[in-house]
């Protein structure tokens, strides 16, 4: 099974981009289902009015790949919560076994028109902008592996708690597939683990075990898997004890320069992604990777 | 007693701003005393000509609150020492039991005119500019708790030695009172403990025990309280073994960008503080805090 | 023997700048030898076509001082390797016992014309620009002490492995001699060990033992001396498993802002060095230092 392999550190090459389940003939079905709005929701939100805390669960089988549809649904939910004054805290987690999110959906980057690639990339930016600049307290309850875009999703939160299972890995491992984390992925990681750790991690596409991730500060706390949500909830209570207004201004002061860098370069960043990903050499890399995935499934 | 409570980590909310003793009717008396220049000096300076080292002791009961008068006296003394070619090193400490400095005096921010608030804020900036950019070697001998502005005072020095007493705490805990550390407090902390530690510390208003502070690099060394001044003096000797000119140019290279950021935004920073602190909502927070303090004293 | 003293931590003052062997009458001979191109090469390169890895050994007795001739020869070799598509990795090491490189050659800074000083400084910049921005994977196999410019040379590489011998030291100790590390030395160190470690290290001219250097991240790995090259080669294999193109773009993203800062201020930086180093007071410091060296040799 491809997923299982993807989650092993030594198979890091597989950990970057997961196609969302079975592609090819099936994907056409999926697309038409989405257009008819008949697919199961990829995001589930449980909002507790009494605590002001929402738990957002990613539930897109098999590995919560960040497809355009997934990201669109995620951003709609984030916007609703952000606008709800009663919602002060957000916990992001996954319902999928062994994986938090496997990152960007490779099928959004393979054989697609430049327009579609651009639309996809804008959605990735939007997710980052919405969470990194959120007024809510955001806690990632990372209950499985979290490579590439999955790691980015965790990094955008205010606090990261990870299930202490040595089989799980986390990291921005884009280079392993021959692609490159953009500057704002890099900036987010530098803000979290510093320049030197980021340089090593990005150049080598490092995937860290939970204990390694804790050591460099890529995650803030490890707990047994069955205590993950409880711990996230307790941590949230501490954060919500701080006056919202003062905390929000402080958060903005810390993150605004990084956010401004993307917002003022957003179109150029999209152009850059599109021209890179549609290159013949990159498309060839992605095709080879997909073929390898198919063989493993067979 | 309010102070005792303020020094316990779990009472962090109290650790931010200490009013200088008994306010209300008494404060009028204090102000008139100051105008008559009959109050006891808040700063004591012992300068050793043979070593070139001055020890500056803060001696303003009960908790070395940074009032406008305190800051003015402090800055006058700093300027004298800076201009004295014979003075190469400065040790800053406190004569008050259990406290280094409790930070900005809340009475300077409550019920004051915008002009007065602006004057006060300019004095806080001046203290920071004078110490952070000093040509002298500056060592903080932190012999007690050091919340908020007290922590900032320590952070502006070249080196921080703290008494290893688990009852003491140190940190920029402004958010706990609903106010916000300005960008140059933040920059100073980022330069010392990095971006991520600062983000967590400022958003949560964290107060660290000495051993926690040592771990993240908020202080550089812990020693038993009775060895604090001896250790500071020994450390000073090592720093003074470096040729002054080379050390000063190097220090300026490290700190100039941070200093320039404030000097080129000084008036805007004052305006920002004044408009924030004179808001009804903030004044209400401060009043509630003062009333709580009074009740505790009663 | 001066060298032996220079390598002891407590003799840090000596660890900065090493004159290249015996100066005075002999240096004239050396210069004429160089002009006749009859001197032994200061750099040896072994390129393994099958692995794509070159080992560049510095072999300029006694301590691989970075003279203008040394730097010129080094840069010529670096350029050749950079332009050779077959060369993907570079290991930099020393053939000299107990020393990696003792840093900038003091004789290039003492009693020289401003023009010559400027020429020398441009060569130091060139070395840094060539290695810090190299497309090759660069690994420093630090098999001895590495003060000042020697430490900089190591810091420009992608990865640093040091021989675990407590007699060796490494650090940017310029201030000990009354001179100052320029902003790009500082930037390189900040990128590696962070702002606070750099501030302390540069102001105090700290020389670290291998284990101290590992602790703050100044080097990445320690191994017994006889395993240094083997470990460097194994590490190189891991780095070369990453697709070159993705790794190179990522490296450029991490380092370009720092490189751009020097390239856009290159002439000003040269002027700054020349006017500083030709000052009477600095020349006097250097003369005293050289005289002390001579006495020790006698």
pLDDT, tens only, C173-190? 999 988 999 999 999 999
Q: How many CB pairs under 8 A join A and C?
A: 56
Torsion of the alpha carbons at C203, C207, C209 and C210, rounded to the nearest 10: 90
Q: How many CB atoms lie within 10 A of CB B22?
A: 13
Residue C286: what pLDDT? 87
Question: Which residues of A are less than 8 Å from C246 in CB distance?
Answer: 174-175, 177-180
C180, C196, C281 ranked by CB distance to B191: nearest: C196
- Whether C19 shows a pLDDT value over 70: the answer reads no
Query: C215, C151, C255, C260: which is closest to A199 by C-alpha?
Result: C255
Give me the phi and psi of A99, to 5 degrees please. Answer: -140, 135
User: How many Cα atoms sit within 13 Å of B43 on the Cβ side?
Assistant: 21
Q: How many CB atoms lie within 10 A of CB A29?
A: 10
Nearest-angstrom CA–CA distance, B268 and B265: 5
CA distance B246 to chain C (A): 5
Please pick, among C104, C176, C206, C293, the residue that the annotation labels catalytic.
Answer: C104
End-to-end Cα spacing for chain C: 9
- How many helices (H) and strands (E) are present in chain C, helices listed first? 12, 8
B190, B217, B247 ranked by CB distance to C175: nearest: B247
Rounded to the nearest integer, the mean pLDDT of chain C is 89
- Whether C30 shows a pLDDT value over 70: the answer reads no
Q: Is A233 helix (H, G, I), strand (E, B) or coil?
A: helix
A187 to chain C, any CB pair closer than 8 A? The answer is: no
* Residue whose tokens read 């102000």: B31
Tokens of B217: 């690099």
B13 to chain A, any CB pair closer than 8 A? The answer is: no
Tokens of A243: 């006056």
A250 with B181: Cβ contact below 8 A: yes
DSSP alpha helix (H) spans, C133-243: 149-155, 183-193, 195-204, 210-216, 228-240
C186 to chain B, any CB pair closer than 8 A? The answer is: yes
What tens digit of pLDDT does each residue of B85-133 get? 999 999 999 999 999 999 999 999 999 999 999 999 999 999 999 999 9
Q: How many CB atoms lie within 10 A of CB B75?
A: 17
CA distance A241 to chain B (A): 8
Decide if C89 contacts C136 (C-beta within 8 A): yes
Nearest-angstrom CA–CA distance, C219 and C239: 17
Rg, Å, chain B Cα set: 18
Residue C290: what pLDDT? 87
Residue C2: what pLDDT? 33
For helices B183-193 and B244-263, give the axis angle rounded to 10 degrees.
140
Nearest-angstrom CA–CA distance, A182 and A149: 11
Residue C254: what pLDDT? 98
- Residues constituting chain C: 298
What tens digit of pLDDT does each residue of B50-97 get? 999 999 999 999 999 999 999 999 999 999 999 999 999 999 999 999
Environment class of residue B76 by beta-carbon count within 10 Å: exposed (0-12), middle (13-18) or buried (19+)?
exposed
A178 to chain C, any CB pair closer than 8 A? The answer is: yes
Decide if B179 contacts B276 (C-beta within 8 A): yes
What tens digit of pLDDT does each residue of C190-243 get? 999 999 999 999 999 999 999 999 999 999 999 999 999 999 999 999 999 999
- Whether B21 shows a pLDDT value over 60: the answer reads no
- Whether B49 shows a pLDDT value over 60: the answer reads yes
Q: Is C42 helix (H, G, I), strand (E, B) or coil?
A: coil
Nearest-angstrom CA–CA distance, B141 and B150: 12
Total-model pTM: 0.90
Residue B286: what pLDDT? 87
Q: How many CB atoms lie within 10 A of CB B257?
A: 10
Strand A53-58 versus strand A43-48 pairing type:
antiparallel
- Whether B14 shows a pLDDT value over 50: the answer reads no
Q: Which 8-state DSSP code applies to residue B100? A: S
Angle, alpha carbons A134-A185-A44 (nearest 5°) = 45
Q: Dmax of chain B from CA atoms?
A: 55
What tens digit of pLDDT does each residue of C48-103 get? 999 999 999 999 999 999 999 999 999 999 999 999 999 999 999 999 999 999 99
Tokens of B196: 């991520």
Query: C29, C123, C24: which is closest to C78 by C-alpha?
Result: C123
Give me the phi and psi of B9, to 5 degrees please. Answer: -55, -40
Tokens of A133: 């600049």
What strands, in cross-sheet order, belong to the sheet with B137-142?
Answer: B43-48, B53-58, B89-94, B137-142, B159-163, B221-223
Nearest CA in chain B to A219: B196
Q: How many CB atoms lie within 10 A of CB B162?
A: 30
Give me the phi and psi of C54, to 5 degrees please. Answer: -105, 140
**CA distances (Å), A240 to each of A245, B14, B175, in order?**
11, 18, 12
Neighbouring chains of C at 3+ CB pairs within 8 Å?
A, B
Tokens of A132: 């990194």
Query: A134, C249, C232, C215: which is closest to C223 by C-alpha?
Result: C232
Q: Is C104 a catalytic residue?
A: yes
Nearest CA in chain B to C216: B217
Task: Report how far Cα B19 is from the mean position of its chain's Cα atoms.
Answer: 14
Q: Is A174 a catalytic residue?
A: yes
What tens digit of pLDDT does each residue of B186-216 get? 999 999 999 999 999 999 999 999 999 999 9
* Residue whose tokens read 């007699």: C167
Tokens of B56: 């500056």
Nearest-angstrom CA–CA distance, C151 and C129: 15
- Whether B239 shows a pLDDT value over 80: the answer reads yes
B250 to chain C, any CB pair closer than 8 A? The answer is: yes
Torsion of the alpha carbons at B139, B142, B147 and B148, rounded to the nearest 10: -10
**CA distances (Å), B135 to each of A35, B81, C121, in order?**
68, 10, 28
C176 to chain B, any CB pair closer than 8 A? The answer is: yes
Decide if B100 contacts B143 (C-beta within 8 A): yes
Nearest-angstrom CA–CA distance, A134 and A136: 5
Residue A290: what pLDDT? 87
Rounded to the nearest integer, the mean pLDDT of chain B is 89
Angle, alpha carbons C129-C54-C159 (nearest 5°) = 55
Task: Report how far Cα A50 is from the mean position of its chain's Cα atoms.
Answer: 28
Contacts of residue C260, defined as CB under 8 A and 6 or more positions apart, other chains included, come to: none
Give me the phi and psi of A263, to 5 degrees please. Answer: -60, -35
Q: Dmax of chain A from CA atoms?
A: 55
Tokens of A88: 């002060």
Nearest-angstrom CA–CA distance, B34 and B68: 11
B257 to chain A, any CB pair closer than 8 A? The answer is: no
Tokens of C66: 């970075």
Decide if B187 contacts B265 (C-beta within 8 A): no
For helices B244-263 and B114-132, give the axis angle rounded to 10 degrees.
160
Q: Dmax of chain C from CA atoms?
A: 55
**CA distances (Å), C20 to each of B225, C106, C113, C166, C284, in order?**
49, 8, 19, 25, 19
Please pick, among C153, C173, C207, C262, the residue that the annotation labels catalytic.
Answer: C173
- pLDDT < 50 regions, chain A: 1-38
User: How many Cα atoms sit within 13 Å of A117 on the Cβ side?
Assistant: 19
Residue C11: what pLDDT? 30
User: How many Cα atoms sit within 13 Å of A44 on the Cβ side?
Assistant: 12
Nearest-angstrom CA–CA distance, B164 and C94: 45
Residue C184: what pLDDT? 98
B158 with C203: Cβ contact below 8 A: yes
* Residue whose tokens read 């006694």: C62
Query: B200, B197, B218, B196: which is closest to B209 by C-alpha?
Result: B218
DSSP string, B7-71: TSGGGGGGGS----SS-THHHHHHHHHHHTT-SPPSEEEEEETTTTEEEEEE--TTT--B-HHHH
Q: How many CB atoms lie within 10 A of CB C215?
A: 13
Environment class of residue C5 by beta-carbon count within 10 Å: exposed (0-12), middle (13-18) or buried (19+)?
middle
Strand C43-48 versus strand C53-58 pairing type:
antiparallel
Nearest-angstrom CA–CA distance, C248 and B188: 34
């Amino acid at each position: 099974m491809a997923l299982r392999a993807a989650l092993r550190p030594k198979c890091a090459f597989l950990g970057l981009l997961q196609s969302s389940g079975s592609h090819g003939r099936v994907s056409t079905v999926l697309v038409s289902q989405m257009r008819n709005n008949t697919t199961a929701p990829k995001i589930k939100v449980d909002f507790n009015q009494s605590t002001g805390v929402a738990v957002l669960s990613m539930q897109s089988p098999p590995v919560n790949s960040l497809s355009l549809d997934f990201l669109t649904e995620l951003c709609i939910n984030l916007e609703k919560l952000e606008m709800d004054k009663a919602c002060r805290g957000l916990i992001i987690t996954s319902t999928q076994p062994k994986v938090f999110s496997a990152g960007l959906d490779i099928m959004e980057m393979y054989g697609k028109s430049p327009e579609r690639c651009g639309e996809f990339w804008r959605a990735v930016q939007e997710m980052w902008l919405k969470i990194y600049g959120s007024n809510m307290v955001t806690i990632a309850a990372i209950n499985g592996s979290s490579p590439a875009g999955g790691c980015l999703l965790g990094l955008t939160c205010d606090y990261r708690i990870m299930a202490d299972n040595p089989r799980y890995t986390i990291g921005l491992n884009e280079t392993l597939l021959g692609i490159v984390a953009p500057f704002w992925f890099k900036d987010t990681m530098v803000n979290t683990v510093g320049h030197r750790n980021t340089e090593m991690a990005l150049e080598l596409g490092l995937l860290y075990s939970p204990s390694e991730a804790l050591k460099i500060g890529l995650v803030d706390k490890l707990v047994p898997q069955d205590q993950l949500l409880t711990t996230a909830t307790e941590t949230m209570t501490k954060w919500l004890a701080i006056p919202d207004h003062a905390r929000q201004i402080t958060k903005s002061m810390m993150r605004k320069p990084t956010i401004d860098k993307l917002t003022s370069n957003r179109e150029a960043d999209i152009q850059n992604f599109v021209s890179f990903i549609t290159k013949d050499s990159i498309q060839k890399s992605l095709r080879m990777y997909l073929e390898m995935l198919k063989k493993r499934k067979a």
